[in-house]
Structure formats: structure tokens, C-alpha cells
Structure 1
Amino acid sequence: MEITNDLNSTFSPYSTTNVNATAAPNCTDWPHVPMTTLIPAIYSVICVLGIVANALAVCVLAHSSASRRTVANTFMLNLCVSDLLFLLSLPLWAVYYSQGYNWPFGNIACKVCGALHNLNLYASIFFITSMSADRYLAIVHPLQSQSARDPKRARLTCILVWVLAFACSVPTFYLRSTQHVEALGVEACAIHYTSDTWFYTLTWLKIILAFLLPLLVISCCYGAIGRHLLAGTGLLRIHPSTNAPSFKSQESCCSKPEKPLTPQQCVNKGSSSSGGRGGGRQLEGRGLERVLWTVAAVVVSFFCCWFPFHCVTFIDLLHGGDPMASCWAQWTIKNLTPLTLCLGFSNSAINPVLYCFIGNHFRGRLGGLCKGLCACLKARGEDHSHQRGSFSTRLSSFSRKLSDLKDLAIAEPSGSA
């Protein structure tokens, strides 16, 4: 299989072309995009923001109490871990681009980083899809789904997602390697497709499993949630006589004399979704509007981040690496593949904001964690100051005693005379 040597797409983390190429027509009239400076700058911003946001989310979710280890939080924790694994490898790709597609880290690192990119591509989208299905069940069918929405089953689902994402990443690990490109004088980290079957199978697999099917499921779930909320039925209306103790009305919840709860705690009692948007919450006014905006943001973010990249991938698939393809197709594949990848990678930094930081409970726990850390540091500082003060006091006391002994020693000879 002979495919054009489009450098930016060939050597990108999700390359879709082969490095063994024939000469293609030179489209000199099309503008050149400075990838060796633009891409590392974008990667650096995504890496810093994404690592900070996901690390904070992991800290809060991992230190949550047993009552907070819900189905949604389980999915969120695994999503953040997946994004962190990808973001930690992003600096190596930034160096790779900045050195003009030269990979200085060795063949094993090339395979591992390429596999991590694909692992995150599949795992993050699978976790987002799982969270969407969980929210649909929690909001639209809260009572009927209680047996299915179990934290143990959620952990099994996460294991299944990791296994499936790993299986989808194995071919990339096998095919990707460092290859010397004599024309550029670099050691590129690229995928070498040994046949047409590999190329078309993996490309269609990426388009269908990593975009089309998840987008269909996510759109259906949040579309049903939106219709449910706009219908004016609320998330759940249950009378106090219900036999489901997990989903009590607000009045019933707040009337418990032995351990009164705040209104916010009552609103979220029995909720199993993130950010206080659970099945037991009846939303009105600004609360309903907030949920609708969050639902819209999830779908729009997913679509905007990944749709451009998969469009470019589809264009590459249609041309099949034809070296005589039109200039617009060559320019699009060559220049827009890494740029649309940057947009897709930014979803890893956006995910914790959409799924964690918007929620009142998450922000409250994050604030509590920060206050606890500040209190710990303050206590250590006060203890250190107390120790220094105690040492200074003992030193002053010792100095006074030493001075008294010296005066006594001076006075004794004169007294004896």
C-alpha cells in the first residue's frame, strides 16, 4: 500500500497514513502552518490546565467518604485517571513536534505513548458514554434503575471499559515504532500499516467506536433527559408513603428529629449522580435551568472537541492515501490533523470542569480539602514557631544563668580579699 507522505498526519499521535510513501504533487500555493512552534505551545497549555484540573478531581474523588462513592463518582474517577495518563505523555509529544518530528526517547517510549493516546481516546469516550447512560437512568427512571445502578456493578463496568480500550489500543502498540526518515534526517515515531486491511479496519474502528456510537448514545440519553425536564415532571416526585427509602421527599428528609439535615443535604439525599444532580432532586426555576445548561454543555463539548478530527480522518479514509489527491485534501489532512487533535485533546481538560467543578458538592468538598490543607500547614507553622520560641526562651534562660555564674565568679575573689 503506497500512501502519501503527509508529515503532520503521518507522524502525529493518531497517524492515519504510512511513512512509506510516493512523491505527491507539490501544492505550493497553499499556506504553510508552523507546526513545530504552534503545536508544542497548544500542547503545553492543555497539559498544564488538564493536569491541574484532573489531579484536583482525583484527590477529591479518591478522598470522598464511603457514602459519596456513587456510580457517577466511580465513572468520574476513572475518567480523570484516563485523562491524567494521557496528559502525562503529552510533554513528550510537544518535544517531538518542537524538534521537527524527531523522537529522541526510544522505540519503547514511542510505542507506549502512542498506545496511551489511543487508550485515552477510547477509554475517555466510553466513560463519558457510561456516565450519560447512568444519568439517564438516575433522572428518568430513578426507581426502576436502583438495582442496576449499584457501585459494584459500576466498578465492573469500569474494568470492562479499560479492557475494551486496551484491546482497541493493542494494534497501535504493535504497529507504531521509530523509523528513520532520510529525507528529513529524523527518527520519526509513526505507524507503519503493513496492508490496506490494517489501515481501513483501524480507521473505521476509530470513527465508529470512538465517535459515532458514543455520540448516538450520549445524544439519546441527554435528549431524553431534556424532554423529561422540560415536560415539567421534575426529576422525581414521591410521596412520603413510598417504600423506597433512598428517594424521600424533601419534607420527609428534613423532618428527621435525630439528625437534622440542611436543605441542600436533603435535596441531594439519595442522589447517585455527580454535582448534586441526582434522581431525588426536584428542580424548579434556576435549578432546572442549570441542569439543562449542563446537559447541553456536555453534548456540545463532546461534539465540538472530536467532530473536526473525525471529519479529517474520514477525508483521509475517502482518499485512501491517493498520492494524486487534490491539493485541498492534501492540505487538510497534512495541517488540520494535528490541529484538530489539539481540539480533541482539550476535552481532557474540559471534562473535570463539566463533570466535577460545576457541582455544588464537589466544590464544597474541594473547598473543605483546601481548608484542611491550609489548617494543617498553619498548625505546622505554629508548631514550628512554638518550637523556635521555646528554644529561644531556653537559650535566654541559659544565657541569664551563665551571666549570673560569671558575675558570681567575679564577685567571689573580691569578697575573699
Structure 2
Amino acid sequence: MGTNPEQSFFPGHHWLYFSVYLFAFLVGLPLNLMALVIFVGKLRHRPVAVDVLLLNLTISDLILLLFLPFRMVEAANGMRWPLPFFLCPFSGFLFFTTIYLTSLFLAAVSIERFLSVAYPVWYKTRPRPGQAVLVSGACWLLAAGHCSVVYVIELSEGSSHSPNTNGTCYLEFQEYQLAILLPVRLEMAVVLFGMPLLITSYCYSQLVWILSKGASHHRRKRVAGLVAATLLNFLVCFGPYNVSHVVGYVRGESPSWRGYVLLLSTLNSCIDPFVYYFSSSGFQADFQGLLRRLAGVWSSYRRERSVELKGKEGVKRGEHSLRELPS
């Protein structure tokens, strides 16, 4: 059975979608742009594996955020797709690919963090950026390969998503489409979410156990923040959405609440910057330095504007005084 979008959401649901997308865009875009500047600078000076992985994660988040306006337009139009139809599968493909890239890169970063603590001497002498580039490429291919099912479904013969029929984008599915889609979703839940979650949980549990033996309070606190931000991403942003894949496969139809939990996945772009912040003390210092520079630029701009406005007011007062002089 397919899913009727009018039965999948409460009345006015499209404004909920619009609000969440707008929030993610306004919060996530500046944070990830700052992270991009920091990682590019770090890789120019001394490229290391974890920074390569985090840079790829940042680029993935930025792609998601830059295509959120397409989703906002759709939500503002009552969940009907008003844009050219070729943008529907393209935006959907990028949307889902970037969501699953996050879980893959978070797992890869957890491995790097574990190695840096378990084998510190070996890790510091082997930055391995080349290997990280290969791992990143494999993550992109793995996520993109699975999420290409969006094109298979949207462009399948007799697809109900033609702009000449109901005008929706990846919301309603016929039985033959679900026969393809539901098993693929189940595999994505296992391969792109379940396995990364297990790897991340193992690596960070070992990391916490090792650091509990004698690490400084500051380092334990930073690692606790890293673990909390990562698990928040997995369990809150991605967990419910991937559970919907399992439920959908068992029931043979998309759950009516799937759209709601998909919104949680969108918020991962706002949480990832916290993963970057707690990933290393170097990033924290760079982030705080960048904030200070931006604050300095803003203060200089405000002072210049203040001087300019005062100058204009002085000129106006002078002109007014001249007009009041007797002729």
C-alpha cells in the first residue's frame, strides 16, 4: 500500500516542515561555514586523517543545507512540488545521501579518536591523510549508491510522482514501488545506520574506559562532550528514522509517522558542529579565535557606522543652523 500525504501529517503540517527546515538552515549554515574555514586552514598547515574526515562531513552538511531551500519551497506550497520536476529526484538524492554520510563519517571519526588514544605514539607519527581520502571516497560511494534508489523510484515506469498527476515529490508510492523501496530501506538501516552505530559505540566505550584511568579532567570533559554530541546524532536524529525503515518493511507500507522523524534527521547539520568542537582542543582554539576575529570585524563596522551617522547628523545640524541665520 502507498502512503497518502494528507493522512501522514496533521493539518498545517507543511508549516512544521518549513519551520524545521528554516531553523536548520539559519543555525547550521553559519556554523558549518565556520567549520569549513577552520578545517581548510588546518589541512593547509598539517593534514591529518581526522581533519580530512571532518572536512568531508562539513561539506556533506553544507550540501544538505544549501538544498534545504528546495524543501522549504515544497513545504510552503503545501507539500506539493512546484519546481521543475528534474529537481525532485536530484534534491531527494542529495538530501538522503548527506543524511547517511553523517553516520558513516561519525563512525570513521570514532575509529580515529580511538586510535589516537589507544596508540598515541603510532598515531602522532602517521597522519595518514591519503588513507582518509580513500575512506571518504568509499563513504560517498556507499551512501550515494544506496540513495540512488530515489531515481529508481521517481523515474520508474508508471511512477505516481509525475508532475502531471498528483504533483508530490517522493511522498506517495504504489505497491510495485514499495516492493523495491522497502527492502532497500531495511538494508540502509542495517548497513548505513546499524553498523556505524555499533562501531561508534564500541570505539567510544573503549575511549572512555582508557581515559578514565588517568586523563586530565579537561580532556575527559571534552571527550564526554564528543560522545554526547555523537550519540545525540545517532539516537535522536537518525534512530527514529531508521526504525521507521524496519517498521515499514515488517508492515509492508511506509509508517504514517515517517515524515515526522525525517525532520529529526535534518537537524543533524546543527549538531555536527558540536562534534567538531569537541573533537580536538585545536579546533576549539581555532573556533574561538575565529569568533573573536568576527566579533572584531563587527565591532569595527559598528564604530565606522556610528562615526558616519554622527558625521551626517553634524552636517544636518549645521545646515539647519545656517537656515536659521537672519538674511
Larger Rg belongs to: 1
Counterpart of 1:345 in structure 2 is 266
User: Residues of 1 paired with 2:43 and 2:150: CA distance?
Assistant: 39
Among 289, 294, 313, the alignment partner of 2:226 is: 294
The alignment partner of 2:136 has SS state of: helix
Report if the CA contact (8 A) 1:132-1:221 is conserved: yes
- Structure 2 counterparts to residues 379-394 of structure 1, below 5 A: none
Structure 1 position 93 matched with structure 2 position 71 = yes
Structure 1 position 5 matched with structure 2 position 3 = yes
Report if the CA contact (8 A) 2:153-2:181 is conserved: no
- Structure 2 counterparts to residues 8-23 of structure 1, below 5 A: none
Counterpart of 1:219 in structure 2 is 201
Report if the CA contact (8 A) 2:229-2:272 is conserved: no
Structure 1 371/180 Cα, relative in aligned 2: closer, same or farther at 3 Å? closer
CA shift, 1:342, in A, is 1.2
CA shift, 1:287, in A, is 3.1
Report if the CA contact (8 A) 1:102-1:188 is conserved: yes
CA displacement, residues 195-248 of structure 1 (integer Å, 9 cap, x when unaligned): 554123311122112211111111111111111122x1x4xxxxxxxxxxxxxx
Considering Cα pairs closer than 8 Å and 6+ residues apart, tell me whether 1 or 2 has the greater RCO: 2
User: Residues of 1 paired with 2:63 and 2:200: CA distance?
Assistant: 24
Among 235, 238, 252, the alignment partner of 1:303 is: 235
Structure 1 position 80 matched with structure 2 position 58 = yes
Structure 1 224/93 Cα, relative in aligned 2: closer, same or farther at 3 Å? same
User: How well do the aligned residues superpose, as a CA RMSD in angstroms?
Assistant: 3.0
The alignment partner of 2:3 has SS state of: coil
Report if the CA contact (8 A) 1:211-1:310 is conserved: yes
Report if the CA contact (8 A) 1:111-1:174 is conserved: no
Q: How many residues align?
A: 297
Structure 1 position 156 matched with structure 2 position 134 = yes
CA displacement, residues 8-46 of structure 1 (integer Å, 9 cap, x when unaligned): 698xxxxxxxxxxxxxxxxxxxx9353122111111101
Among 165, 168, 174, the alignment partner of 2:143 is: 165
Counterpart of 2:315 in structure 1 is none
Structure 1 141/5 Cα, relative in aligned 2: closer, same or farther at 3 Å? same
User: Residues of 1 paired with 2:78 and 2:68: CA distance?
Assistant: 16
Counterpart of 2:285 in structure 1 is 364
Q: Which has the higher helix share?
A: 2
Structure 1 69/144 Cα, relative in aligned 2: closer, same or farther at 3 Å? closer
Q: TM-score, normalised by structure 2?
A: 0.80
Report if the CA contact (8 A) 2:21-2:68 is conserved: yes
Q: TM-score, normalised by structure 1?
A: 0.64
Structure 1 position 189 matched with structure 2 position 169 = yes
CA displacement, residues 362-383 of structure 1 (integer Å, 9 cap, x when unaligned): 243234345556777959x99x
CA displacement, residues 165-211 of structure 1 (integer Å, 9 cap, x when unaligned): 222222212322542586xxx41112756455412331112211221
User: Residues of 2 paired with 1:305 and 1:94: CA distance?
Assistant: 19
User: Residues of 1 paired with 2:151 and 2:125: CA distance?
Assistant: 38
Structure 1 position 210 matched with structure 2 position 188 = no
CA shift, 1:48, in A, is 1.1
Structure 1 142/59 Cα, relative in aligned 2: closer, same or farther at 3 Å? same
User: Residues of 1 paired with 2:268 and 2:7: CA distance?
Assistant: 20
CA shift, 1:120, in A, is 0.6
Counterpart of 1:37 in structure 2 is 15
